Each structure stands twice: as C-alpha cells, then as structure tokens.
Chain A
C-alpha cells in the first residue's frame, strides 16, 4: 500500500474504534435505564447514581492502571509485567503513532494508540455495570463504588490480559471474540460473589420457602434500556473485529452486525415464548432479558455462524435465561434484574457454543477459559467484597431499606411527585 492509502486506512480504522467505542459507551445508558426500570421507585435515584458513577470510576481506574495491566509490556502469561516507565496516563495525542512509525510497521500499527484505549475502557465499564443490577436496592452506594475501584483497576484487567492481552488463555486457543467470558461472565461472577455476601432484599423470600414478587417501577425505561443495549452491542461486537479498512474485514464486520442482531431477535422471541409457556402470560421483563441473553450468547463468536445459526444460538440463550432466573430465585439468590442469569449463565453458554461454528476452537480450551475466568473473578471479588463488608459494611440498615435507598444514600427521590405527602405544587 502507498502512503496515502495507508494513511486513509489508519484514519478509517482509528475512526472505527472510536465510533464503536462510543456505541459501547452508550450501553452504559442502556444499563442505567434497564436497571432503573426494574427496581422500585424508592430505589431508582440511587441505582442511577451507581451507574453513572461506576462508568466514570472505570474510566479513571483503567486509565491509571488497568490498561497497563491488561496490555502490559511483558509478563509470563499469568502475571502481567507493567511498564512503569510508559504509563498510559501520561501519554498524549502528540506522542501517538507518527507517519514514519506507521509506514515502517508494515501494517502492524494501523490505528491510534489512544483509540485502542478508548475502545477498551468502555468494555471495562460494561463488565462493572453488570454488578450494579444484581446488588440493587440494598447495597451501600459507597461500598459498591469502592468495589468498582478494585474490579476495574485490577480484577478485570488481569483476566483480560490472559486472553486479549496475549496471556496464557490466548496461548491455549481459548476464543472469546467480544467478551462473553472476559466481560459478561466476569461481571456476573463478581455480582454473584457480592450477592452471596449481601443477602436477599427484605421480603423477597418468605420463611415458608415462598418467593415474593417485587415488580419494577418503570417498564418503559426497562424496555428503552434494552433497546439501547441492543444498539450499543453493534459497537461491542462490531468493533471487536478491530479492523474495517479492507474488503475481508469489512465483510466480517457486516456479518458480525447481522449475527448480533439476529441473536438478539432469537433470544427475545424464545425468551418470550418460554415465559408464556411457563407462566401463562407474556412477561415483558423476561422478553427483555431474553433479548439480552441472545446478545450475550453470540458475543463469544458473532463472526463464524450463519445468520440462522446466530438466531438459534441467541434463541437457546433466551430459553436458558428464563430457566436460570427461576432457578437462581429458587436457590434464594436475589438478583433483581437477572444479571447473573443473563451475563453469567448465558455467558457460559456463549463461550461453549463457539466450537459449534468455529472450527479453530475446542470445547476443552473454552472450558478452561470459562473455569479460570469464573474462578479468578469470583474468588478475588469475594475477598474484596468480604474486606469491604468487614471494614465498612455493604448492606444498608433495615430502616433505610424500607424507606428506600434514594433517601438514605442520595438524599432525594427519583419521582418526588408520586411519592408520599409532598405531592405536586
């Protein structure tokens, strides 16, 4: 390629990272709306605060140290070796790739380094966001944010290094195109550890074994959130092709977009049908979870399946998620939004489904990756959650839980005119 062509390709691929990264950032809005819609009105402002705060903390922690852990100068495959003399937080656009360096790299340097960071940082935020829904309505806000500091600065980057940073999972042939494991199973594992130490919401489970419904306050928001996530996922999976500036990669990106869309549709339809068969009515929240499950399921491999296969892979995810939600409830593990089911259980299905359409992958390598991500994240998260619990406590008081964490943690209400005696003026 000549210099103008190389420059154009560089600009296009850099632009592609930035745009798809911006789409993934938009998923933060999706999570915020989804969760706000599925919790009670008295707990809405707090979960919104959690969502926007965790996104910001993730960006900062990843900038400070996380990125350096995940894409280190070296390492033995398990423990990354950070280059302290070249910390990302001190870089700048002026220091990014020069024309000479790009031309000399013979195609290997084809995008701006800063664009790579931007694309990666939004994935960390996505993983962290998964935790916020599972611990909703009864966790102390600042305990959660403290956990976010460790999750985004350390726990996520280490297992990210193992695969995307060129570590040992990459070496054994583990496949995870856009992060069913590295992002979704990771988030769900951290969520599970937190929920086990946190306990269920008051009134969720009866002493006689009954499971009580606690309906969400705003299903329009929940639905909006799901659509936003669906849109953002085109960036999540589409951007993970990492290149668009030649024919074969452009075709691949198109295929990834199509499959991502089909998997969501398949998951949504089968999730709705499963809910209808199990519960007798069309539970919207299960339909929403079904669409998300379809998206999580295809995330490990959105390129090799045919559109029909992608629909089915997503569809299986939609069926699994309904059963997982009910089962996890039966185990008295309280997950108000189904995050552990959508991202954890279906994340595992997504990882194991890869070899079905990708002949380079093996069930063995996928299982090893699944186990190590789950093990590393769950154990380290459990330790951090436990330490936070011992130092400052992670659960709000019973009184605060009844009153609503909006008032207790945020000092305001999400829907002041619909609540209590204040009324409208």
Chain B
C-alpha cells in the first residue's frame, strides 16, 4: 500500500478530484498548506511598506491506494493538476505500513 501526497495549486482541486473519481479512487484527504519550491516569492506594498509573499497557498491531497493503482493515480493527478506554469506542485509517494477502517476494524487493503 502507498500514501500519495500531491501538492497542487488550489484552483486545480476540483479537476484532480474528478480525475481521481474517474479511475475509481474512493477517498481523499485535502489539507490547506503554504509553500514554495524553486518558485520564488514576490513583494507587495501595504500602505507604502513592502512585504514579501514567500509562502504561496497550495492544497495537499492525500490518497491511500493499493500498489497496482499507484501509476494510474500519478497519471491522473499530473494530468489534472498541470498548467505548464511555475508552481504546479509535486507528488510524493511513500510506503503505507498499515491502514485501519475505524468503523469496522478492517485492516490492510480491505480498509482502503
């Protein structure tokens, strides 16, 4: 099992959600985050005083899937979240040691 974390531009959330639903992913978690990669910040003026906007708002989408689905999920997210401009985001894939469904107590791939 794998945990896929995708940092995407906030306005891309609906597209990503739809793309994931299309390939049969049943659940996702969405977190509001701030961050930057190689995309540099820019300065704004508030009443004449400069302030740097370093951290840009992003959305982190977390999807727990069984191994066979990983490539499809990556393709779906990349396709939906891409704009071709700086700041599109990143996808991280990490091993998921254990998954438990709280309501029923199911574990492993049955809980996904």
The answer to whether A215 and B48 touch across the interface, beta carbons within 8 angstroms, is no
Does A283 lie within 8 Å of B45, measured CB to CB? yes
A211 x B45 contact (CB < 8 A) = no
Chain B nearest CB from A50 CB (Å) reads 21
How many residues of chain A are within 8 Å of chain B by beta carbon? 17
The interface centre, meaning the residue of B45, B47, B48, B51 with most chain A CB atoms within 10 A of its CB, is B47
- In the complex, are the beta carbons of A281 and B45 less than 8 A apart? yes
Number of interface residues of B (CB under 8 A): 8
A280 to B51: give the CA distance in the assembly, Å: 14
Look across to chain A and name the residue whose beta carbon is closest to the beta carbon of B50: A213
- Report which residue of B45, B48, B50, B51 has the largest number of chain A beta carbons within 10 angstroms of its beta carbon: B48
Residues on B with C-beta less than 8 A from A283 are: 45-47
Query: How long is the Cα–Cα vector from A338 to B50 in the complex, in angstroms?
Result: 17
Interface check A86, CB cutoff 8 A: no
- Name the one of B44, B47, B50, B51 contacting A286, with C-beta atoms under 8 angstroms: B47
Give Cα A129 to B50, complex, Å. 29
A298 at the B interface (CB under 8 A): no
Chain A residues whose C-beta falls within 8 Å of the C-beta of B50 in the assembled complex: 210-211, 213
Tell me if A279 counts as interface (CB < 8 A to partner B): yes
- Which residues of B have CB within 8 Å of A281? 44-45
Complex interface: chain A residues within 8 A of B51 (CB): 212-213, 215
**In the complex, what's the smallest C-beta–C-beta distance from A398 to chain B, in angstroms?**
22
State whether the Cβ of B49 lies closer than 8 Å to any Cβ in chain A: yes
Q: Give Cα A286–Cα B48 distance, bound, in whole angstroms.
A: 10
Instruction: Give the docked Cα–Cα distance between A281 and B44 (Å).
Output: 9
Chain B residues near A214: list those with CB within 8 A: 46
- CB contacts (< 8 Å) of A212 on chain B: these are 49, 51
Contacts of A215 in B (CB 8 A): 46, 51
CA distance A129 to B49 in the complex (A): 25
The distance in angstroms between the C-alpha atoms of A280 and B43, with both chains bound, is 12
Q: Roughly how many angstroms separate A212 CA and B51 CA in the complex, as a whole number?
A: 6
In the assembled complex, the Cα of A325 lies from the Cα of B51 at a distance in Å of 17
Q: Which of A254-291 contact B (CB under 8 A)?
A: 278-281, 283, 285-286
Closest to B46 in A: A213
CA distance A278 to B51 in the complex (A): 16
Set of chain A residues within 8 Å of B44, measured between Cβ atoms:
213, 281
- Min C-beta distance of A181 to chain B, whole Å: 26
The answer to whether A329 touches B45, judged by C-beta atoms less than 8 angstroms apart, is no
Min CB distance, A143 to chain B, in Å? 26
For B46, the chain A residues whose CB sits under 8 A away are 213-215, 283, 285
- Closest chain B CB from A291 CB (angstroms): 15
Chain A residues, Cβ within 8 Å of B49: 211-213, 329
Report the bound CA distance from A110 to B51 in whole Å.
Answer: 57
Give chain B nearest CB distance to A133 CB in angstroms.
13
Tell me the bound Cα distance from A325 to B49 in angstroms.
11
A412 within 8 A of B: no
Per-residue CB proximity of B31-57 to A under 8 Å, as 1/0? 000000000000011111111000000
Check if A326 is an interface residue, CB within 8 A of chain B: yes
Q: Which residue of B lies closest to A280 (CB)?
A: B45
Task: Give the shortest distance, in Å, between B32 (CB) and chain A (any CB).
Answer: 11
A286 CB contacts on chain B under 8 angstroms: 47
Residues of A within 8 A of B47 (CB): 213, 283, 285-286, 325-326, 329, 338
Q: How far is the CB of A413 from chain B (nearest CB, A)?
A: 19
- Per-position contact with B for A337-376: 1 when CB-CB < 8 Å, else 0? 0100000000000000000000000000000000000000
Quote the shortest CB–CB distance from B54 to chain A (angstroms).
13
Q: Once bound together, how far apart are the Cα atoms of A338 and B49, in whole Å? A: 13
User: Which 5 A-B pairs have CB atoms at the shortest separation, nearest pair first?
Assistant: A213-B46, A213-B51, A213-B49, A326-B48, A211-B49
Q: List 17 A-B contacts (CB under 8 A).
A: A212-B51, A213-B44, A213-B45, A213-B46, A213-B47, A213-B51, A214-B46, A215-B51, A279-B45, A279-B48, A281-B45, A283-B45, A283-B46, A283-B47, A285-B46, A285-B47, A329-B49
If A211-B48, A213-B49, A325-B47 are given as contacts, then 5 extra A-B residue pairs at C-beta distance below 8 Å, sorted by A number, are A213-B47, A214-B46, A281-B45, A283-B46, A329-B49
Residues of chain A at the chain B interface (Cβ within 8 Å): 210-215, 278-281, 283, 285-286, 325-326, 329, 338
